[in-house]
């Protein structure tokens, strides 16, 4: 990751997929994305498995707006992860990321994600195996939480990841046990930075420009990864970028509801290509549910769509919004 990559769009399984990445990066301010995880077990996945999760691989590993996308792998077997990383590398990803943070029970039960943080030695073996398997010009990064049930091994995991040759490390400032409940323990990221030299990215509970600035101050990390905060406020990364670039005291401009409606229409068209009709309405409502945090209009839209499931009815609703 270059020093210019100051705002990263987080991977979020079941929410922040290719279509939503496309929408959010069109707004501006995002420097790098990470895909949702691709689960690796005891086989080498076919080309289509990587492209299904990260179709940006067909566009030089970039979103429509030109933002690079790293592809994330999840698993516990160093050899199979290395073999899959080598296969993925042939598709020219902007980087390969390793997931040591997923808190999902089913994933953890199968020795994936955050549960591996109880085994710092294995974490290091995974990173080292993948780094060896991938050409030097492709970055290999990692994303971790502070731990599984507690944060007592956080330093050991970060040191193992660094020693194994990772290019950079994203730290979600909560343990698996914390889930997504506030607060995020940003001070522990500052602690980790005292032990490792590799570039570090702070993640967790960044919903506003004020949060972003406080997170930087507490953690010492200039670079931030944002997930739910960007879904709720698509203009957040742009606001951060404008804050960083401005020389006057001007307030960063907000993204208007009309712009959001335009993005929703594009989003709806995108999911129509990839999602079964019975699930499409749910995906739009899922995004609106987050948008309600920032946009009063989203609450009204959510109420209007709450009981609608027929895609044709939502087509009609979106058509009306476009002309209002």
Residue 118 sits in the same domain as residue 203: yes
Residue 262 sits in the same domain as residue 199: no
Residue 136 sits in the same domain as residue 160: yes
Section 221-241 average pLDDT? 96
Section 54-71 average pLDDT? 98
Q: Which of 152, 145, 159, 137 is nearest to 112 (CA)?
A: 145
Residue 212 sits in the same domain as residue 63: yes
Say whether the peptide bond before residue 87 is cis (omega within 30 degrees of 0). Answer: no
Q: With respect to residue 76, please indicate whether it lies within any of the assigned structural domains.
A: yes
Section 67-95 average pLDDT? 98
User: What's the full length of the chain, in residues?
Assistant: 324
Residue 138 sits in the same domain as residue 276: no
Q: How far is residue 152's CA from residue 116's CA, in Å, rounded to a whole number?
A: 13
DSSP3 helix / strand / coil % (the chain, rounded to 5) = 50, 15, 35
Task: Inform me whether the pLDDT recorded for 2 exceeds 50.
Answer: no
Tally of domains within the chain = 2
Instruction: Note the pLDDT of residue 102.
Output: 86
By the 8 A CB rule, do 280 and 311 touch? yes
* Domain's final residue, options 222, 245, 268: 245
Residue 97 sits in the same domain as residue 213: yes
What's the DSSP call for residue 12?
B
Task: Find the domain containing 314 and state its range.
Answer: 257-323
Q: With respect to residue 83, please indicate whether it lies within any of the assigned structural domains.
A: yes
Q: With respect to residue 250, please indicate whether it lies within any of the assigned structural domains.
A: no
Residue 271 sits in the same domain as residue 199: no
Q: With respect to residue 36, please indicate whether it lies within any of the assigned structural domains.
A: yes
Residue 208 sits in the same domain as residue 299: no
Task: Inform me whether the pLDDT recorded for 253 exceeds 80.
Answer: no
- Give just the sign of the alpha carbon dihedral 54, 57, 61, 64: negative
User: What is the tens place of the pLDDT at every residue in 145-195?
Assistant: 999 999 999 999 999 999 999 999 999 999 999 999 999 999 999 999 999
Q: With respect to residue 1, please indicate whether it lies within any of the assigned structural domains.
A: no
Q: How far is residue 188's CA from residue 197's CA, in Å, rounded to a whole number?
A: 15
> Which of 102, 157, 215, 221 is an active site residue?
102
Section 106-119 average pLDDT? 86
Q: How far is residue 168's CA from residue 2's CA, in Å, rounded to a whole number?
A: 10
What's the mean per-residue pLDDT of the chain?
A: 94
Q: With respect to residue 112, please indicate whether it lies within any of the assigned structural domains.
A: yes
Would you call 102 a catalytic residue per the annotation? yes
* Domain's final residue, options 197, 212, 245: 245
User: What is the tens place of the pLDDT at every residue in 42-62?
Assistant: 999 999 999 999 999 999 999
The radius of gyration of the chain from alpha carbons, rounded to an integer in Å, stands at 19
Q: Which of 219, 184, 173 is nearest to 199 (CA)?
A: 219
Q: With respect to residue 252, please indicate whether it lies within any of the assigned structural domains.
A: no
């Amino acid at each position: 990751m270059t020093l210019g990559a100051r705002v990263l769009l987080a991977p979020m399984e079941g929410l922040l997929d290719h279509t939503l990445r496309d929408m959010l990066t069109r707004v501006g301010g995002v420097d790098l994305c990470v895909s949702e995880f691709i689960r690796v077990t005891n086989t080498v996945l076919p080309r289509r498995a990587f492209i299904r999760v990260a179709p940006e691989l067909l566009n030089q590993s970039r979103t429509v707006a030109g933002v690079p996308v790293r592809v994330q792998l999840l698993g516990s077997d160093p050899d199979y992860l290395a073999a899959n990383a080598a296969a993925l590398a042939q598709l020219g990803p902007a980087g390969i990321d390793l997931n040591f943070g997923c808190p999902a029970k089913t994933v953890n039960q199968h020795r994936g994600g955050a549960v591996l943080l109880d085994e710092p030695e294995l974490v290091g073996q995974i990173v080292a195996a993948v780094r060896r398997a991938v050409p030097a010009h492709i970055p290999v990064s990692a994303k971790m939480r502070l731990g599984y049930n507690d944060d007592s091994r956080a330093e050991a995991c970060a040191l193992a990841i660094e020693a194994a040759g990772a290019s950079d490390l994203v730290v979600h400032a909560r343990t698996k046990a914390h889930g997504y409940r506030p607060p995020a323990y940003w001070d522990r990221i500052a602690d980790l930075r005292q032990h490792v030299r590799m570039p570090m990215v702070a993640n967790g509970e960044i919903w506003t420009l004020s949060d972003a600035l406080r997170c930087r101050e507490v953690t010492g990390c200039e670079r931030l990864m944002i997930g739910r905060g960007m879904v709720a406020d698509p203009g957040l990364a742009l606001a951060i970028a404008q804050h960083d670039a401005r020389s006057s005291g001007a307030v960063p401009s907000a993204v208007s509801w009309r712009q959001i409606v335009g993005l929703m229409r594009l989003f709806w068209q995108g999911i129509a290509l990839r999602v079964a009709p019975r699930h499409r309405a749910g995906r739009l409502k899922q995004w609106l549910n987050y948008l309600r945090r920032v946009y009063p209009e989203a609450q009204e839209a959510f109420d209007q769509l709450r009981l609608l499931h027929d895609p044709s009815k939502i087509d009609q609703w979106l058509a009306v919004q476009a002309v209002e």
